[in-house]
Structure formats: C-alpha cells, structure tokens
Copies of this chain bind each other. A is one copy, B any other.
Amino acid sequence: MNFSPAIEELIEALRCLPGVGPKSAHRMTLHLLERDREGAQGLAAALSQAVNKVDHCRRCRNFTELDICEICTDPRRDATTICVVETPADVLAIEMSGSYKGIYYVLMGHLSPIDGIGPQEIGLDLLHQRVVNENVCELILATNPTVEGEATAYYLIDLLQEEGVKVSRIAHGVPLGGELEYVDGSTLAHAISGRREVD
C-alpha cells in the first residue's frame, strides 16, 4: 500500500532538492499536508516565480530578474576590475566579506572537457571580448582552488596573456580542495587583499 497518487508525486518531486532522500521527502510531504498547506502553496508560487523570472545577467552571467544585474549597473562600483567566479553563490560569499568593490563575471561552472564543458560553455569568449573592447584594468581570478578551478584559471591566464591586462589570482588563504562558497568572510577578505599578479 502506498499513499494516494498526488502524495506519492509530491514525495517524488521533493527528491529533486539536494540532500533530500526518500525518508526526508516523505517527512516533508506529511509535514506540509498536515501542518503547513499555506507554506506549501507559497513554496509552489515562489518556485514558479523564480524559474520564470530569474535569468542570467547579459553582462556578467550572474542570476538576475533584470536584463543587466544590479551590480553591473551600480555606478559606485569599479567597473575596471572584474572578479571571475564559478557560481552566483561565490558572488554572494565575496559580497558578504565586504572586501571587494569591483564587478563580477560568473562562469556558471568550470572547464571540464570530460563533461563537454569547454571555454564557450562557461562564457570565456564573451569575457575575452569584454577585456578587448572595454576599459578593464584588472581581472581577479577567484575560481575554486580545485583541479578544475585551477585549470580554468590557467586557461584564462593563457588566453589573456597578450591583451596587456593585469591578471591576478586570489591568495591561497582559501584551503585547497575546498569550495569557495563555504569559506568564512575574513579568510575570503584575506585571500582577496593578498592576491598576487600573475607573471
């Protein structure tokens, strides 16, 4: 015996959330139906809204509901310094550290030829164009200190070698093998201020 189809479908649908297995999905479903139907409806609306409204910024590829995101259009930010990160979560982590006033470029991933993710898939061609066409003084590489993140950083260093732009890598105060998203703000601030120019 199982629950009715609508309940089974909800249990199954909740499995799309990271870290939610069959037991948690089951528990969440009964909790919502028994005690928080309003919350469930709110969640359904928030999911539809986010999926329909949130797209990538045309300039930096970060998530935004606007055509060009608030960071890219903020006149108080230094548009000549671009920090290259892998994900929107990394942008938030750096913003939280309060140590950076430039703009970003979000790769939405890293180079991973085995998964068919080459330079175009992570927007390196667009970034290259921006460096060539715009007034960019410095590019800070803040990809994750993992094998793929390092490979992506070195690819960018190679690509931009002839463009005469200053390219720096955030300092390895960030523990190696970790994910940028989980580093505390002061370590991140340290890593940004201690960046070294690539020669």
Contacts and interface: CB of A to CB of B under 8 A. Distances in A.
Contacts of A129: none
Interface string A108-120: 1000000000000
28 contacts: A1-B71, A2-B92, A3-B92, A4-B54, A4-B64, A6-B46, A6-B50, A6-B65, A10-B47, A13-B42, A13-B43, A14-B46, A16-B32, A17-B31, A17-B32, A17-B43, A19-B27, A26-B89, A27-B89, A30-B88, A32-B47, A32-B50, A32-B51, A37-B51, A40-B50, A41-B47, A43-B47, A47-B47
A176 interface: no
Contacts of A30: 87-89
Do most interface residues of chain A lie in helix, strand or loop, or is the interface mixed? Answer: helix
A5 interface: yes
Interface in A94-127: 95-96, 108
B54 A87 contact: no
Given A1-B95, A2-B92, 19 more contacts: A1-B92, A3-B63, A4-B54, A4-B65, A4-B66, A4-B70, A6-B53, A7-B63, A12-B46, A13-B45, A13-B46, A16-B39, A17-B32, A19-B27, A30-B89, A33-B54, A43-B44, A44-B45, A44-B51
A37 B165 CA distance: 37
Interface residues of A, number: 57
